Amino acid sequence: MSSQANTTTHPHITYLGFPRMGRRRELKRALETYWRGETDAAALLATARELRQRHWQQARTAGACSVPVNDFSLYDHVLDTAVLFDAVPERYRALRQADPLAGYFAMARGGHGLHALEMTKWFDTNYHYLVPELHAGQRFQLTGDKPLAEWREAQAFGLDARPVLLGPVSFLRLAKTTDGSDPLALLDALLPAYAQLLQQWADAGVPWVQLDEPCLALDLDPASREAYAHAYAVLARGRTPRRLLATYFGALDDNLALAASLPVDGLHIDLARAPEQLDAVLAALPPGRVLSAGVIDGRNIWRSQPTRVLPLLEKAIAKLGTEHLWLAPSCSLLHVPIDAAQETTLAPELRAWLAFALQKLEELKQYAQTLAGDEAARAALSGQSALLAARAKAPGVQRSDVRARLNALSPQAAQRRSALTHRRVVQAQALALPLLPTTTIGSFPQTDALRHARAEHRAGRLNNDAYETFLAEEIAQALRHQEAIGLDVLVHGEPERNDMVEYFGEQLEGFAFTRQGWVQSYGSRCVKPPLIWGDVARTAPMTVRWSAYAQSLTEKPVKGMLTGPVTVLQWSFVRDDLPRETVCRQLALALRDEVHDLEHAGIQVIQIDEPALREGLPLRQAQQASYLAWAVQCFRIAAGGVRDTTQIHTHMCYAEFNDILEAVAALDADVISIESSRSRMELLTAFEQFRYPGDIGPGVYDIHSPRIPGHEEITELLRKALVVLDPRQLWVNPDCGLKTRHWAEVIPALEAMVNAARALRGELALQD
């Protein structure tokens, strides 16, 4: 771009993407009111436009010289890419034709009698994307002009803007086909649509585009490598803006030569996760190519360490000069909140350690100015180094009691008293459950009334007693519903929890909380990851009271409900001055004490959720075994202290677990419940090869969709499961917790589930 070439004396500052929700989650509210039919599409689109414009302006004020566009999405950027290229499964076409926005949202979240696209984790993040559903012979064509329209919008503000698009190879690698064919086989069908788009943009005067190819940070097979070489050669042939190839979430490693050989104009690399790759990248980069140096961590919220960042940048500028060096966060800022300045209730010392999206851009400006010889900026960075060095000595950051306990931990702590096969027998006696036991995953609807009561309590307008009476009644009501439905193992429903991680973090030492530190998880759903800044310790039981209360109301077993150490770790912003595995072990010990206290309070079944076990898996195979070893050990430390009669469940969702089933088995849980209904029980193929000795509850009800499943479809899924699993192993449960659903959906869905289980029980009894 003429425009994105440097007009200033310091290197160009940019970013790959920005959080979409808004500092007050305006997009969430606009989406949800639209979905409820309370506002129209025009109102939703107006909020979206306002947010985009506000964010560009904020980014510019913070220091960005250019802004990405089309990073914004009403739901998900992978879905947007599929829609842009008309990769729309047949079942949505009529609706999309009648009402494109309704069709778009049906793909995202189901409805109108249609089930949604599958949703899964975006690499190793807590963001979920919709998996494009393709088939052999798929045709692609350009539909709509969202990226260009947003580019024009930014241009109108006088902004130097760059459309972002998921690159063709990553798009196909992230997609699935319904017929099992290789999505990459569709590359030649897809490329003309990409080429046409680039040509349109070139004709419109777009100077640069950003093609995101995060799959370049993965282990690639020869076919993917070939696909990269082929795709980028084809795209370079036509008229096209200059192309920035963006890689992130790890090192290029063995894909570096490939990435450097692709005919593009710039390469973005992740120097937060992989600073060691800089030398090799500088050596491999052809002359004249821009390097976008992702030096600030886009995945975490701590201020950067200038003593780490400056040497990298000095090396890069020495080789490339100001002209060819851009400064950026390592990846899109989608994964961090917007503005730490809003967090006025945090301790000032802690706030000073934080950099959210806007502060990250401000940091980049300081680095850029320092590189340009600005002494005031250099002094500010020295101040930042001193501040971060002092952090180690702050009270609570290093606790001798926590560290001594961890050092003294024996390997026995990670062992149950007997083998799973023996525990099954004693638990069957202790619990006396029917064949195909029915249960739920923990949470029941977080109704407006419940969220409102919590907000009132937090604001001090509802006193403790009144709030607790309210929670007790919610729990009693949840139990009445479950007993009426006829479930076998009950739950208290988690009404006291704002979030399954935040709730635990709020009760543990070493954690802090933000007020507005929201991060998009999927669609309109956000999470507010706690900050782990110090050594972790539990001072009092966290869940015993409500679980014991629930158990006191029923004869049936009530499952205690905990979030596992790996998931708490994964869904928090974790201190960057200690290895993650050490922080995880501290969490495991805190949870072990909780498990012990639940057991002593008479809870016979305890579920330790680990939905993020798969998400934490390193993207490169070479690092996976060591992660799985410590992650599994942490779970086992948390669960290991209980009697044989105490049944430990674990639950996993939001990802494919097939490739880590051995690690899942190594958790040594008595029962595992795993999401599987969205993929129509694809999970089970893995259990054909891999015989799990414990019990399994493959989810039979897709809780992400408002659609209420019928008795027949649940029965069909259970029959599929019974082809692979022994009936004595099979549990019947939804895919995940029901917190996002309404009672009006949950009750009939669970009734259908229980009826399906009962009918099959009858059939199985007859066969005996």
Ligand X SMILES: CN1c2c(nc(N)[nH]c2=O)NC[C@@H]1CNc1ccc(C(=O)N[C@@H](CCC(=O)N[C@@H](CCC(=O)N[C@@H](CCC(=O)O)C(=O)O)C(=O)O)C(=O)O)cc1
Q: Would you list which residues are annotated within the binding site for L-methionine?
A: 441-443, 494, 609
Whole-number Å distance between alpha carbons of 698 and 734: 8
How does DSSP assign 604-635, residue by residue? -EEEEE-TTTTTTS-SSGGGHHHHHHHHHHHH
- Residue 736 touches ligand HCS, criterion: CB under 6 A: yes
Residue 244: helix, strand or coil by DSSP? strand
Give the closest residue to 562 by CA, choosing from 646, 648, 629.
648
Whole-number Å distance between alpha carbons of 355 and 303: 5
Measured from the CB atom, the residue of 442 and 557 that comes closer to Zn ion is: 442
Whole-number Å distance between alpha carbons of 248 and 40: 37
- Residue 530 touches ligand X, criterion: CB under 6 A: no
704 labelled catalytic = yes
Task: Provide the token pair at 746.
Answer: 């949950």
Residues 6+ apart with CB under 8 A from 626: none
Shortest Cβ contact with ligand HCS: which residue? 737
Measured from the CB atom, the residue of 324 and 649 that comes closer to ligand HCS is: 649
Here's the x/- map for ligand X, 230-249, by CB under 6 A: it reads as --------------------
- Residue 521 touches ligand X, criterion: CB under 6 A: yes
- Residue 441 touches ligand HCS, criterion: CB under 6 A: yes
- Residue 520 touches ligand X, criterion: CB under 6 A: no
What residue numbers does the annotated binding site cover?
25-28, 121, 126, 441-443, 494, 525-526, 571, 609, 615, 651, 653, 675, 736
- Residue 451 touches ligand X, criterion: CB under 6 A: yes
- Residue 69 touches Zn ion, criterion: CB under 5 A: no
Give the closest residue to 312 by CA, choosing from 289, 360, 279.
279
Residues 454-513 that bind ligand HCS (CB under 6 A): 500
CB burial of residue 578 (10 Å; 0-12, 13-18, 19+): middle
Measured from the CB atom, the residue of 248 and 571 that comes closer to ligand X is: 571
- Residue 739 touches ligand HCS, criterion: CB under 6 A: yes
Please tell me which residue in 268, 492, 704, 711 is annotated as part of the active site: 704
Whole-number Å distance between alpha carbons of 295 and 327: 7
DSSP state of 528: -
Here's the x/- map for ligand X, 3-42, by CB under 6 A: it reads as ----------------------------------------
DSSP state of 117: P
In the set 22, 110, 241, 442, which binds ligand HCS (CB under 6 A)? 442
Q: Are 736 and 140 in contact (CB under 8 A)?
A: no
Number of helices (H) and strands (E) in the chain: give both, helices first.
Answer: 28, 22
- Residue 501 touches ligand X, criterion: CB under 6 A: yes
Q: Which does 561 bind (CB under 5 to 8 A by kind): Zn ion, ligand X, ligand HCS, none?
A: ligand HCS
- Residue 492 touches ligand X, criterion: CB under 6 A: no
Q: Are 531 and 553 in contact (CB under 8 A)?
A: no
- Residue 611 touches Zn ion, criterion: CB under 5 A: yes
Residues 60-99 that bind ligand HCS (CB under 6 A): none
Give the closest residue to 251 by CA, choosing from 277, 285, 286.
277
Q: Which does 478 bind (CB under 5 to 8 A by kind): ligand X, ligand HCS, Zn ion, none?
A: none
Q: How many residues bind ligand X (CB under 6 A)?
A: 21
- Residue 734 touches Zn ion, criterion: CB under 5 A: no
Type and span of the H or E element at 158: none
Q: Are 354 and 39 in contact (CB under 8 A)?
A: no
- Residue 83 touches Zn ion, criterion: CB under 5 A: no
- Residue 498 touches ligand X, criterion: CB under 6 A: yes
Whole-number Å distance between alpha carbons of 267 and 576: 27
- Residue 499 touches ligand X, criterion: CB under 6 A: yes
The vertex-333 CA angle with 578 and 519, nearest 5°, equals 80
Q: Which sequence positions are flagged as catalytic?
A: 704
Q: Which residues bind ligand X (CB under 6 A)?
A: 126, 446, 448, 451-452, 454-455, 498-502, 521, 525-528, 571, 611, 654, 740
Q: Which residues bind ligand HCS (CB under 6 A)?
A: 441-443, 500, 561, 609, 611, 651, 653, 736-737, 739
